[in-house]
Structure 1
Amino acid sequence: MSGHEGESVAAMQPLIEADGVGAVIDGETLLAPTDIRVERGMALAVRGRNGSGKTTLLRILSGRLRPSSGTATIEGRTIDDRDRTVRRSVSALIGTPAYAPDLTLREHLRYISTSWGVTGQAADDAADELLAALRIDTLARRFSTELSSGQSQLFALATAFVRPFDVLVLDEPEQRLDAERRGLVADRILLAKERGAAIVFASHDAGLVERVADEAITVEAP
């Protein structure tokens, strides 16, 4: 195999892959065996009714839950959030993040960036750019406890977008947002795709799925 052929094969390898992953806890099946493959620059939408296992799948893909069956990997490496390499690769928003109550929104985003090696002016710029892109820059000096429901959702998404990542996992990013703000979130997901991230997101929003997803799967209730 020539060098160019080797590069081509590597480029086609999925960044994130799940082979027959399922979850059973205390005898209850939360996720039936599921397969996914997501390459760089690709977004996969996960659909299904409430209780079908969408969030369970996202927890497995983010390393927060060990599957009862099957395997989940990033570039062949088992997904486990105790592995710092995995944590560095994966940014996830599943549920409400834990916030530092004494930091403003801007300070909080800057802190997250700094935690992952983005320092100095670059951290300031990343926070400011993201706050502006999500149109919450006027709230930069507020604390997380001073936000409305929709503002809280945008800020939660900002905490996932602001740090470096190769894989982005989002659970219903559209929740509590109107159509205009859903469009802003779609723009950020598309930007992450352009930068080469692999994205997996659960959504009930057909418009969001149509705009940003390259493929979609439906998770059936166990």
Structure 2
Amino acid sequence: MADDETQMPDSNQPSGRRGPAEHERRAQIIAAADEHFRRYGYDKTTVADIARAIGLSSAYIYKFFDSKQAVGEAVCHLCLGKIASELAIIAADDKPAVDRIRRLYKSLTAQGVELLFNERKLHDIVAAAIDGRWPVIKRHEKALLALIQQIVTDGREAGEFERKTPIDETCRAILQTMQPFLHPVMLEQNFDDVDENATIVANLVLRSLAP
């Protein structure tokens, strides 16, 4: 049967997944989970709830995901993927690197605020993923680090940024300064000044990068 087919694991996919990577049933499960998590929240949703919504048994869900957390990771992966896609557009732009760094902070902040006010339940899932150290968070940070390195490399080649500091150290430091805007709880706690803080931090980072 097609449901029993196997493929080599995809290292870019959230952990805990089972079954064929592109199976339409998997997408159906994730869509149902996404809807339930948005409406009721991650903590109040069970695997049985997701299964019931699409007329399946919980046992069938476990053919594709080995736990509720694995389903949560898949939904979190979609949410964070949208954020990363927006940042990738900025990183690939042909504007000066200085401008792109500023826009990274601005975009991170805007998307974090969007989650907080318009997708509160997804905001809570991302917070749970960070607190639980879900692997999807590490992958997201790795993707952001690659985008930062792309911009810093361009800036160095264009003479916008200094070249003495090892690039790995520089990029990791920049990623650390983004944590208040990446972490949902930290962003919420400092919401009143979040836009101003993002601008201040971006300015400080850019001064440190200047040749």
TM-score bracket for this pair, using the shorter chain length? under 0.3
From the CA coordinates, give the structure whose radius of gyration is larger: 2
Instruction: Tell me the TM-score normalized by structure 1.
Output: 0.27
Instruction: Tell me the TM-score normalized by structure 2.
Output: 0.28
Higher share in helix: 2
Higher share in strand: 1
